[in-house]
Amino acid sequence: MAISLTLFKPPRWWEEKERFVYDNKTHRRMDFSSFDELEKLLYGLSRQPKKGKKDAELISPAVYESGTTRANKNVTAWAGWCAVDVDDIEVNGDLDALVSKLAGDWRFVCYSTASSRIDKPKFRLVFELNRHLQQTEIKHFWFALQSHLDERGDKQCKDLSRMYYIPATYSEAYNFIFSGNSNPIDVDNLLSRYPYVEKTHSKNFMDRLPDELQKKIVQYRMDSMSNQGYSWTSYEDCPFVNRNLVRDYKAIAYTDNSGRYAMIYKIMTSIAINAIKKEYPITTFELVDLIRQLDRDTSNRYENRALDIEADRAIEYAYRNS
């Protein structure tokens, strides 16, 4: 089965908006005759030295309509592979054995991410699929995959055009790559095991609207934020921070396998919602800064994590649901 990927340039920093901007050109496509060739490419990339994610390209399993940009509406399929990030799992003993158990009999390539550390390995699992996924199947497949993996990731697939940083020898990271098992994911079998309810049946009115109309509503809400009458020095005196959530996070900040990062995202979302309710146009930079302060005051586990991505999602969620 033919397999392909789309390659994107490293992100660039946008000073005016104080955020990273990601490449949206989709013409850099690489085609392979088999998963073996994709695996060979990943191993080759893993030997290249990189300073960090700001220096690294990204890849996606998404196939796009010719001449279009990286947008969900332009995705036509996932071309024979998928990937899952594993950032918050306790590793006791042999990492190879843990990953093999997690993957079951599915064929995988496991490679470390730029934020991986010897005391806290972080990695990505690239799985082979037994066929291409059509655009209409991707959300169901993602839901089924995360359900099968015991909900270690986000079950809701908002980004059909999701990208992943390439494997590399990242400076200051605990770098590794290895492969295992033999069978591709049986897509039809996985979909049948985990039924999925489409968003058209959602009770949320916003979710039932066409994507383009949702974007316009979110943008209108963003443009309506005009209350600049708030200031703070840290998360401790920020008027949008829920003190109870911070207390709950501090109770688990040093405990592995505790849903720690899920709580971080919950705090992000809460801050964004509270700010928007008071019509304050909170920025990604402000939200990330608050979370980094909290992290430094506790376990300091997310010093090298690209929190701006999750902060963007938290703010979007707040505008959609406030």
Task: Tell me the per-residue pLDDT of 308-322, one tens digit each, with 9 for 90 and over.
Answer: 888 888 898 888 777
Q: What share of the chain is helix, strand, coil (3-state, %, to 5)?
A: 40, 20, 40
What number is the average pLDDT over the span 115-136?
A: 93
Q: Of 314, 299, 303, which Cα lies nearest the Cα of 265?
A: 314
Whether pLDDT at 204 is above 80: no
Q: Tell me the torsion sign for CA atoms 265, 268, 270, 276.
A: negative
What number is the average pLDDT over the span 285-296?
A: 94
Burial of residue 211 (CB within 10 Å: 0-12, 13-18, 19+) is: exposed
Burial of residue 237 (CB within 10 Å: 0-12, 13-18, 19+) is: exposed
Burial of residue 113 (CB within 10 Å: 0-12, 13-18, 19+) is: buried
Q: Which band of pLDDT confidence, cut at 50, 70 and 90, is reported for residue 226? A: confident
pLDDT confidence of residue 221: 79
228-259 pLDDT tens trace: 889 999 999 999 999 999 998 998 888 765 56
266-298 in b/e form (b: 16+ CB < 10 A) is: bbbbbbbbbbbeeebbbebebbbbbbbebbeeb
Rounded to whole angstroms, how far apart are CA atoms 127 and 190? 13
Helix (H) or strand (E) run with residue 211 in it: helix 211-223
16-31 pLDDT tens trace: 767 778 899 999 999 9
- Per the listing, tokens 């995959």 go with 145
Model confidence, pTM: 0.64
> Residues 6 or more apart from 60 whose CB is under 8 A from it?
5, 6, 8, 70, 161, 162, 163, 164
Whether pLDDT at 305 is above 70: yes
